[in-house]
Amino acid sequence: MTDQHDAAGTAALSGTLALGGDLPVHRLGFGAMRIVGEGVWGPPRDRDGALAVLRRAVELGVTFIDTADSYGPQISEQLIREALHPYPEDLVIGTKAGFVRTGPGRWHRLGRPEYLRQQVEMSLRTLGLERIDLFQLHRIDPEVPLADQLGELALLREEGKIRHIGLSEVTVDELSAARAVVPVASVQNQYAPSFRQSEDVLEQCEKDGIAFLPWAPVDRGTLAGAESPLAALAAERGVTPVQLALAWLLHRSPVMVPIPGTSRVAHLEENAAAAALRLSEEEAERIGSHLS
C-alpha cells in the first residue's frame, strides 16, 4: 500500500473515466457534504480543517469534487471556492439542486424550473465559475413534470452555464425517462459493498457508459473501524476496512466513481490510499459474498 503521508497524486492510481464522454476525472473522487456543520447545516466546527481537507484532496490527485447547494446550504460551495479558487485546470466540480433546506437534517424536494434556474445561477456565483461541468438534479420532484425539470437544465446547458447533466437517486425506469429528454452523464445513487439496492441501475450505467457515483460508499460508516464486517478480511491484506470497501467499489465497475467524504485529513489520506489497492477476482467475490 501507498504510505498515507507520502501519497501525492495517489488518487490517479484509481484510473480515469471520461465524464460525459469528454471530461476525464480520476475515479476516486471526494464528496464535500461532510465538511459543513452537523445535520449538513451551518458552518463546520473546524473551518481551517475543512479548508485543509479540500486542499489536501487536490494534492492527493483528486480531480472530481461532488457538492450541492443544499450542503450548508451554500457553505460547502463557499468553502470549495475559498480553498481552491482559482481552480486547477483538471479539477471538475459537480454540484446539485433540487432540495430546499429548512433546518438541520431537513430536506424538501423542489424541482420547479424557475427554482432550478435560480440555483444554477447561485452556484455559478458561489463557486466562481462561468460554467458548471456537472450539474445534477438532486432528486426528481414528483409534483413537477420530469420534462419540465430536465428541460430547464437542458436550456441552461444550451446557454453555456452547464456542461453535463446528472441525476441522483433514480430507478432504471426514471433514468430511461430522463434520457428521453436530455443526455445523462452521471447517476448518483446510494451504493456500497453492503448496500446494493441500485445494482440494476449500476448495470444500466455500465452498459451505456454513464458514470455511477455511489454516495455513502462505506455505508454511512458501517464498514469503517474495528467493528466493521470487513475488519478480518482487511487485516489479511494489511489495509483498513474502509480501504478494502473503496477498492471493492473501484473493482466492481469501470464506470464507478466513489466519492467518500470526510472532515479530517487523516481519513482523507486513508481513503486516497485505497486507489493503490488491487483486488483479485477471488478477493472481490469473497468480499461481495461476505456482505451479501
Residues labelled as active-site residues: 71
Distance CA 135, CA 241 (A): 32
Distance CA 133, CA 188 (A): 15
Residues 6+ apart with CB under 8 A from 86: none
**Strand (E) or helix (H) holding 77:** helix 75-84
Q: Read out DSSP for 263-277?
A: S-HHHHHHHHHGGG-
Helix (H) or strand (E) holding 17: strand 16-19
Q: How far apart are CA 181 and CA 4, in angstroms?
A: 44
The whole-angstrom separation of Cα 198 and Cα 159 is 33
DSSP string, 37-53: -TTTBSS-S-HHHHHHH
Residue partners of 85: CB distance under 8 A and separation at least 6: 127, 128
CA distances from 240 to 27, 143, 234, 251, 284 (A): 19, 44, 6, 16, 15
Distance CA 9, CA 60 (A): 4
Q: Is the N-terminal amide bond of 260 cis, ω within 30° of 0?
A: no
